């Protein structure tokens, strides 16, 4: 172990992932070959020292930064093809930078899932990234699950903020301008994705249950608990969807009701100074 320090370097995540998976397979086959129980293996000094070499928390932090960077850079409008470092030059390890491939993956997700907004597509990409075979490690299942919930919360907050901004911008326009504004289309897109994300998120959760040991169909309680956590994370979207629907309906009906109200006020004013009651 002392002669192979780079094997345990988490700053090179792809290599670290490959080495850790191979080490897990080796330990499993070794213990099976000599009929070693997990309890006896866990207390062996050599195995304990070997396990400590793997900085799993640092590896998770790097992968988390990569996922969050894609979401935050989109929020700030930064290009995702800006290089931030490379792990192939043998120099000091660095956090992997978002690459143009991310844009292609997000576009494919939009088409495959029928999503209309970047926020929803990027949230789905980020969750899938946590559980892809070249990123996920079984020992980090709990942390990747927590990150998945954080991503759903990010989407919920980002979508709610966008809807609020669109409503405020549209409400500041005249009735005719508001009706023809692109903001109504964008509100409809967000409403569509807020409903779609519930189903997509549940499908992702069921896929996660097939990956994580102990959460498959045989453990209905755990699976139901995970789905409940997803539902709670997205629950505020109901109120956001209702606000968007109310604004769209009021904007569409405003021109006709405004004209009708104007006629009624004019008719009433004509009878105001007479002895006759208004019709």
Report yes or no on 71 lying in a domain.
no
Confidence band of 202 (pLDDT split at 50, 70, 90) = very high
Residue 178: the pLDDT is 84
- The better pLDDT of the pair 42, 235 is held by 235
Q: Out of 6-20, 87-101, 105-119, 137-151, pick the least confident.
A: 87-101
Residue 49: the pLDDT is 74
Confidence band of 117 (pLDDT split at 50, 70, 90) = very high
Q: Which residues of 119-147 are buried (b: 16+ CB within 10 A; e: fewer)?
A: bbbbbbbbbebbbeeebbbeebbebbbeb
Residue 63: the pLDDT is 95
Taking the model in full, what pTM does it have?
0.78
Residue 30: the pLDDT is 67
The span from the CA of 132 to the CA of 146, in Å, is 16
Model confidence pLDDT, tens digit, residues 151-195? 999 999 999 999 999 999 999 988 888 888 899 999 999 999 999
In the three-class reduction of DSSP (H, G, I as helix; E, B as strand; rest coil), residue 2 is classed as coil
Calculate mean pLDDT across residues 47-59: 81
Residue 106: the pLDDT is 92
Residue 88: the pLDDT is 42
For the chain, what is the mean pLDDT?
Answer: 81
Assess whether pLDDT exceeds 70 at residue 143.
yes
Residue 268: the pLDDT is 62
92: burial class by Cβ within 10 Å (0-12, 13-18, 19+)? exposed
- The distance in angstroms from the start CA to the end CA of the chain is 96
Report yes or no on 80 lying in a domain.
no
Q: Using only the alpha carbons of the chain, give its radius of gyration.
A: 27
Assess whether pLDDT exceeds 50 at residue 130.
yes
Report yes or no on 177 lying in a domain.
yes
Report yes or no on 25 lying in a domain.
no
Residue 81: the pLDDT is 41
Assess whether pLDDT exceeds 80 at residue 95.
no
Report yes or no on 123 lying in a domain.
yes
Report yes or no on 76 lying in a domain.
no
How many domains, in total, are found in the chain? 1
Which range, 90-94, 109-113, 261-265, has the best average confidence (pLDDT)?
Answer: 109-113
Report yes or no on 45 lying in a domain.
no
Residue 35: the pLDDT is 66
Report yes or no on 234 lying in a domain.
yes
Contact 217, 207 (CB under 8 A): no
Q: Which domain holds residue 178?
A: 99-279
């Amino acid at each position: 172990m002392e002669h192979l320090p780079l094997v345990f370097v988490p700053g090179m995540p792809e290599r670290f992932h490959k080495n850790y998976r191979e080490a897990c397979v080796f330990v499993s086959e070794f213990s099976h070959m000599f009929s070693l129980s997990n309890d006896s293996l866990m207390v062996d000094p050599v195995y304990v020292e070997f396990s400590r070499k793997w900085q799993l928390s640092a590896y998770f932090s790097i992968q988390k930064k990569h996922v969050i960077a894609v979401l935050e850079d989109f929020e700030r409008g930064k290009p995702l093809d800006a290089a931030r470092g490379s792990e192939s030059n043998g120099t000091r390890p660095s956090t992997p930078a978002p690459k143009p491939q991310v844009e292609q993956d997000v576009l494919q997700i939009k088409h495959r899932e029928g999503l209309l907004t970047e926020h929803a597509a990027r949230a789905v990409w980020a969750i899938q990234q946590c559980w892809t075979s070249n990123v996920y490690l079984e020992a980090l299942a709990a942390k990747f699950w927590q990150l998945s919930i954080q991503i759903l919360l990010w989407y919920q907050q980002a979508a709610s903020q966008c809807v609020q901004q669109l409503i405020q911008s549209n409400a500041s326009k005249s009735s005719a301008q508001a009706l023809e504004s692109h903001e109504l289309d964008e509100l409809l897109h967000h409403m569509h994705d807020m409903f779609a994300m519930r189903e997509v998120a549940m499908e992702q959760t069921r896929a996660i249950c097939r990956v994580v040991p102990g959460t498959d169909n045989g453990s209905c309680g755990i699976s139901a608990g995970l789905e409940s956590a997803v539902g709670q994370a997205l629950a505020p979207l109901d109120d956001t969807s209702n606000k968007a629907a109310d604004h769209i309906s009021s904007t569409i009906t405003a021109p006709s009701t405004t004209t009708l109200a104007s006629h009624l006020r004019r008719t009433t004013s004509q009878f105001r100074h007479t002895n006759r009651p208004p019709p």
